[in-house]
Amino acid sequence: MKILFVKLKHIGDALLLTPTLTAVKAQYPDAEIWVVVRRGTESVLAGCPSIDRLLTSVAPEQNKRAISDWASELKLIRTLRQQHFDYAFELSDGDRGRFLTVLSGAKVRALNDVSGRLKNIWRPFFQSISRFDWRKRHSVEKDFYTVHDALPLELPIPPLAFVRPATAGWEPADRLGEFVVLHPASRWLRNRWPLEKWITVGRWLLERVPHLVISAGPHPDEIKLAQEIQIALGARAVSTEGKLSWAQLAGVLYRARLMVVGDTGALHLGAACQCPIVGLYRPGMVVHWSPWQTRYRAVYDPAYAPKGGRHPQDEASSQTVAPILEADVLTACAELLEDRNVLV
């Protein structure tokens, strides 16, 4: 049996697919699993041993495509059509992913349409249209049950996958003893907590652990933010300077005592490495993107009051993480460090 999964979303979304891939491989060990993800997200799947072939597609957004991308996209489609897939699952919820899934020519093509917004033009091309209501469930469950409705899977749903053998070392962290990871940056401005609050948390943590690792992605703004925090905290804090691969960051997270992080792909990598996590969230985002199957505390604006009947993402659209209190983050850190004597 040959199975295709298409998920053209961001880094964290790609990693959230891994429990479903693990479940499929466990139940159908002879299945050949192919995955197509958005270009630039593929390296975060290097730690998932259930994948037999990993391919990439250009960004779904038209303004991010170059003319040369069309040639690579045609090559991708030709490769997919040559495989004669038994099943193809579209998990991107977008026309770009649906287009690739249909052109794969798989015998059974499946997606989710609990909202009922799927355009009529697509319906004849999909043999399985899942009605699993994921709107107040975790994104991992959405993928799992969308697949389960066409290809039965056994419970429980597995954890995220970035296995230890796929990790890599990072010499500065290898020399450290006990440490906590701070990952302050996010490509979304509304998910960025103020610099001074990160410094407050860092100073508190350095009273309880010997070292901090300040993690950053490769974007100059992320590197600058990490450097500013490192300078404020002194010699016992070390910045990754945006140089780590996902495999190296996974190696760091497997050893970390705790991770404090916003709602980013790095948070889900921490969950895959079973690192305890303090996650800083916009209120409505916790439902879909909380750390999956690891010890965690989700912290958000204490003034938030749920609005009945609204989709969690709608509630979060006008929110930021800026109002989150340092005291609430420190309480969460203390609980996961098993230190109940919190002094703010």
Q: Which residue in 260, 265, 294 sits closest to 280, CA to CA?
A: 260
Residue with tokens 């609990």: 114
pLDDT value at position 73?
Answer: 93
**HEC sequence for the chain:** CEEEEEECCCHHHHHHCHHHHHHHHHHCCCCEEEEEEECCCHHHHCCCCCCCEEEEECCCCHHHCCHHHHHHHHHHHHHHHCCCCCEEEECCCCHHHHHHHHHCCCCEEEEECCCCCCCCCCHHHCCEEECCCCCCCCHHHHHHHHHHCCCCCCCCCCCCCCCHHHCCCCHHHHCCCCEEEEECCCCCHHHCCCHHHHHHHHHHHHCCCCEEEECCCCCHHHHHHHHHHHHHHCCCEEECCCCCCHHHHHHHHHHCCEEEEECCHHHHHHHHCCCCEEEECCHHHHHHHCCCCCCEEEECCCCCCCCCCCCHHHHHCCCCCCCCCHHHHHHHHHHHCCCCCCCC
Query: pLDDT value at position 340?
Result: 45
Which of 60 and 261 is assigned the larger pLDDT?
A: 261
The pLDDT confidence band at residue 211, using thresholds 50, 70 and 90, is very high
Taking only the tens place, the pLDDT of each residue in 287-339 is 999 999 999 999 998 876 555 544 445 554 557 899 999 999 999 999 999 85
Is it the case that residue 17 has pLDDT exceeding 90? yes
Q: What is the pLDDT of residues 167-205, one digit of tens each?
A: 999 999 999 999 999 999 887 778 889 999 999 999 999
Could you give all domains of the chain from N- to C-terminal order, each with its CATH number? 2-148 (3.40.50.2000), 164-336 (3.40.50.2000)
Question: What global pTM score does this model have?
Answer: 0.92
Record the tokens describing residue 329, joined without a space: 């983050």
- pLDDT at residue 94 is higher than 50: yes
Q: What angle do CA 91, 96, 101 make, to 5 degrees?
A: 60
Phi first, then psi: give them for residue 182, nearest 5 degrees. Answer: -110, 130
pLDDT tens digits along 26-37: 999 999 999 999
Nearest CA among 57, 55, 44, 53 for reference residue 17: 44
Q: Across residues 131-158, what is the average pLDDT?
A: 96
Average pLDDT of span 38-57 = 97
Confidence of residue 104 (pLDDT cuts 50, 70, 90): very high
For residue 65, the model assigns a pLDDT of 62
Find all residues with CB under 8 Å of 63, minimum gap 6, and list them.
none
Give the per-residue pLDDT at 324.
95
Residue 220 pLDDT grade (very low, low, confident, very high; cuts 50, 70, 90): very high
> Tokens 């290097």 correspond to what residue?
46
Q: What does the pLDDT read at residue 317?
A: 52
Strand partners, 260: 182, 278
Share of the chain above pLDDT 70, in %: 92
Band of residue 344 on the pLDDT scale cut at 50, 70, 90: very low
Contact 124, 146 (CB under 8 A): no
Q: What is the mean pLDDT of the chain?
A: 92
Cis status of the peptide bond prior to 156, with omega within 30 of 0: yes
Rounded CA separation 319/75 (Å): 41
